[in-house]
Homo-oligomer: A and B are copies of this chain.
Amino acid sequence: MSALETRTRILDAALAALPAEGFEGLSIGRLAARTRLSKSGLFAHFGGQGALQIAVIDAAAARFDGAVTRPVLAEADPLERLRVLASLWLTWVTTDGQGRPCPLMQAAMSAPGLAEEAGVHACAVRARFHPFVARLARRAAQAGRLRADTDPQRFAFRFEALGLAAGLHALSQDPAAVRACAQAEYAALLREFAA
């Protein structure tokens, strides 16, 4: 197995363990047992607890980009991009309906379980989403697909709020009902702002 394959296998195991064990449970020792690799082998890949947590956050972000942001950018129409983003993000945050939080939200709320540098990194990664949405909104307004007076920051705040609420509600309520409610709200938001 190549070094890259081994690294991927370790990060897959870490992401799978995250909902039940949290970032605080992501120790080199436990992951070594889970992947049947040596502790020294894991140290060679990650160098320690903080670096491992950062690698797991980046692996979650890479999955997010693959599932959400890249398919959005493959759309040509600026308004359609926002519709696709709402749909894919909602699937991401309410995924599998088994009460598992989005790993990036989990990281942003897990300060006590993260090494300091990993906590800073988690916040920085999560904070990328707001400017991404604001940029899509600005371009849609410039292209005449959203109202010209759309405030991209305010639009992005409302857009992001619906998905965050859906993700949190889906932990304790029927995910299908949560998704239906959030879908209706996204449709209303886009109707309100569409040019």
Contact = CB atoms under 8 A, between A and B. Distances in A.
Contacts of A160: 165
Given A22-B112, A109-B109, A112-B21, A123 B164 contact: no
A22 B24 contact: yes
A113 interface: yes
A24 B113 contact: yes
Contacts of A105: 109, 168
Interface of A: 19-22, 24-25, 99, 101, 105-106, 108-113, 123-124, 126-127, 130, 153-154, 157-158, 160-162, 164-165, 168-169, 171-173, 181-182, 184-185
B110 A109 contact: yes
B172 A127 contact: yes
A106 B111 CA distance: 10
Contacts of A127: 172-173
Given A22-B112, A106-B109, A111-B22, A165 B161 contact: yes
A101 B110 CA distance: 9
B158 A185 contact: yes
A124 B173 CA distance: 10
A79 to B, nearest CB: 21
Contacts of A154: 181, 184-185
A181 B157 contact: yes
Contacts of A112: 19-22, 24-25, 113
Leading 9 A-B pairs by shortest Cβ distance: A22-B112, A161-B165, A123-B172, A161-B161, A109-B109, A127-B172, A21-B112, A164-B165, A157-B181
